[in-house]
Structure 1
Amino acid sequence: MVQQLRQQKLLQALDRARQMSVADVMQQLNVSRDTARRDIVAITEKGLAQRIHGGVQVLNFGSKIPSFQDRLQQFTATKIGLAKTVLPLITAGQYVFIDVSTTLLKLTQLLTQQVTVYTHSLDNAISLATNPAITLHVLGGELNQMNRFMAGPETLAALRHVQFDQVIVGAVTVTATGIYFSDEADAAVKRQALAQTAQGVLVCEHRKFGQVARFQGGTLAQLQVVVTDEPLRPTERAWFKPTTTFMTLTGGLQDD
C-alpha cells in the first residue's frame, strides 16, 4: 500500500476510534512498528491529528469523556491483549471484584476459572450470567444508564462485608496521587472494594497516565499489580511502591 493511501486509511480508522496506540496502527494497516510510527509522524506534522506518548489521537480529543458504548468501539486489539494478560492472575476459588471497564468486560468473556465474582457493571453481569464456572454477585444500587453501572448506598452496603482475594479496576486517569474517575458514586465503589483486598490490580492503557479527572477511586499504594499496554515512563513508575509488579503487552513483566 502506497504511503498516501495508507495514511488515508489511518485517518479513517482514527476518526472511528478517536485514539490509537502504535500497536493498533500496526494491526489496522498491517505494517511494521517503524512504518506505523512514520505514518503517525506524517499525519501529525500535517496537522491532521495529535501525537501522544505511544500513539496518536484526533485533534481536541478529551473535550469530554466518551460514553461506555463509545469506548467499547475503541482499542479493541489492545483491550483483548490487556484482558489476556490479566487472566492468569485469577485462580480457582478466589473471590474477585471486577470493575466496570470495557477492557474488563473482555476479561469476563475469557474467564473459565471457577471463581466468585462481584461486580457493579451491568455488562459484566450479562457476560457472566450464563458462565457455569462463575458464582456471580451483582451489586445492587441505582443504575447509571449511560455508563451501565450500579452505585450508591445499596452498592456500598453489599460490598462492606466481603474480603476479596483480588480487586481488578480500570481508571479514567492515573496521577501520582491515585486513580481517578468521572463519576463520584462510581469512584466510591472502587474505594470501598480496594479497601477490602490485599491485591489491587490496575488495568488500563498507558495513555491514561498524567491526564485529569475529578474523583479519586483509590490510592496507588493500594495497587500491587499494574497492567498497561506499553511500558510506563520511569517518572510514572516512581509513583508506585517499589514492590509493585508491572506487566505490559509488549514485554510481559516490565523490568527495572
Structure 2
Amino acid sequence: MKVISKGGHAMQPRERQQQLLKQLAQQQQMSVADVMTALTVSRDTARRDIVAVTEQGLAQRIHGGVQVLNFAVDIPSYQDRLRQFSQLKTALAKLVLPTIQPGQYVFLDVATTLLKLTQLITQKCTIYTHSLDNAISLATNPAVTVELLGGTLNQKNRFFGGPTTLEAVQTVAFDQVIVGAATVTANGLFYSDRDDAAVKRQALSQTTQGILVCEHRKFGQAARYCGGQLTQIQLVITDEPLTHTEQRWFPKTTEFRHLTEDDYDQH
C-alpha cells in the first residue's frame, strides 16, 4: 500500500514519517490504527514508521501506538479521550458486543469504548450504568432497559458516585460487569477518581463474569485508586495481544481476545 502525496507521487519513508510527526503534533497520541488511517498504509508499514520516528528520538513509543515526547503524565479527561483513537474504540466495541446476551443484566462502565458500545446494542437486555453519557445514548433504544445508578454527579467526567451510587449497585447480581481501566498492573485495575473506582470495585464483587476492555497501552502505567482485582476478570479484550508476562497477571482460566486487521477492515 503506497501513500500518495499532494503532488501525486508515492511518499518515500522519510516524507511519510514527517507527515506522521505533523499529525502526531496535533493529536498528541496516536494508535497504530490511527497511523494506518492518517497515512493510508498497512499495519506493518505503520509499525515501521512508528519504530523509525521513536528510534530517531522524535517521538515516544507506547503500547499500541506512539505519543509526542514529554506527553503529560496526567490521565486525559473524558472529553479528551473521546477525541482519541476513535477507530480503535469502535473496533473494540464491536468485539465486545457479542458478549452481551439477550435478557442479561449488565453493568456498563464509564469508558469511551463502552460509550461506543451503547450505540451498537440491539439485543434486549437491562443495562446498569453510573455513566451519564451511557444513559443518554441508550435512552431512545427500545431494546434496552436503562437503570441509571444515580448519586453525586462528577461534572468533568460525567459519572455518578458516592454512597447513593454504591447502595444502588449493591442491590443487583449482575450477569456480567464490563469495565474499562485507566491503567492495569499486576496489582489490579486502577483509576484516577476514588468514587469511580469504588463503584467498579463494588460491581465486580457482584458478578461471576468480569470483562475488561481497554487498549494495551494502558498496561503497566500508574494510577492511584484500585477498582478491582485481576482475579475478578474472566475475559480481557484489547487492541494488541498481551505479553506473556501480562497474561500471567491473570488467573489461568482468563480468556484473552484482541483485534485483528480484519476487525479494522470491518470498521
Q: Which one is further off, 9-18 or 23-32?
A: 9-18
Matches within 5 A, 1:192-207: 192-207=202-217
Q: How does 1:44-83 map to 2 (within 5 A)?
A: 44-83=54-93
- Distance in 2, matches of 1:107 and 1:161, equals 24
Q: Runs ≥4 in structure 1, deviation > 4 angstroms?
A: none
Whether contact under 8 Å (2:153, 2:160) holds in the other structure is: yes
State the secondary structure of the residue aligned to 2:241: coil
* 1:109 counterpart = 2:109: no
Structure 1 residue 228 corresponds to structure 2 residue 238:
yes
- In 2, the alpha carbon distance for the partners of 1:172 and 1:122 equals 18
On the 8 A contact 1:121/1:149 being kept in 2, the answer is: yes
The worse-fitting range, judged by mean Cα deviation, of 55-64 and 71-80 is 55-64
Cα drift, residue 251 of structure 1: 7.7
Aligned match of 2:150: 140
- Aligned pair partner of 2:101 in 75, 91, 102: 91
Check conservation: 1:49, 1:59, Cα contact below 8 A. yes
Task: Give ranges in structure 2 of 5+ residues lacking alignment.
Answer: 5-10, 263-267
Within the alignment, does 1:28 sit opposite 2:38 as a pair?
yes
96-105 or 36-45, which deviates more = 36-45
Matched, 1:183 2:193: yes
- CA distance in 1 between counterparts of 2:213 and 2:242 reads 13
The alignment yields a C-alpha RMSD, in angstroms, of 1.4
CA contact (8 A) 2:64 2:239 kept: no
- Amino acid corresponding to residue 68 of structure 1 in structure 2: Y
* Matched residue SS, 1:231: coil
- Aligned-partner Cα distance in 1 for 2:135–2:51: 41
Distance 2:216 2:72 in 1: 15
Displacement of 1:187 in angstroms is 0.2
Q: Is the 8 A contact 1:169 1:190 kept in 2?
A: yes
1:46-96 per-position Cα deviation (integer Å, ceiling 9, x unaligned): 332111233211112242111100000001111001100000000100000
Determine helix, strand or coil for the equivalent of 1:179. strand
Match of 1:246 among 215, 239, 256: 256
- Tell me the distance in 2 between the aligned counterparts of 1:230 and 1:93: 31
Between Structure 1 and Structure 2, whose CA radius of gyration is higher? 2
Per-residue deviation, 1:33: 2.3
1:18–1:74: 8 Å Cα contact kept in structure 2? no
Whether contact under 8 Å (1:100, 1:121) holds in the other structure is: yes
Residue 215 in 1 paired to residue 230 in 2? no
The answer for the alignment partner of 2:141 in structure 1 is 131
Relative to structure 1, is the Cα distance of residues 251 and 219 closer, same or farther in structure 2, using a 3 angstrom cutoff?
farther
Residues 63, 218 of structure 2: 8 Å contact kept: no
Q: How many residues align?
A: 252
Q: Shift in Å at residue 41 of structure 1? A: 2.3
What is the TM-score of this pair, normalised by structure 2? 0.91
State the one-letter code of the partner of 2:117: L
Q: State the match for 2:23 in structure 1.
A: 13
Amino acid in structure 2 at the alignment position of 1:12: K
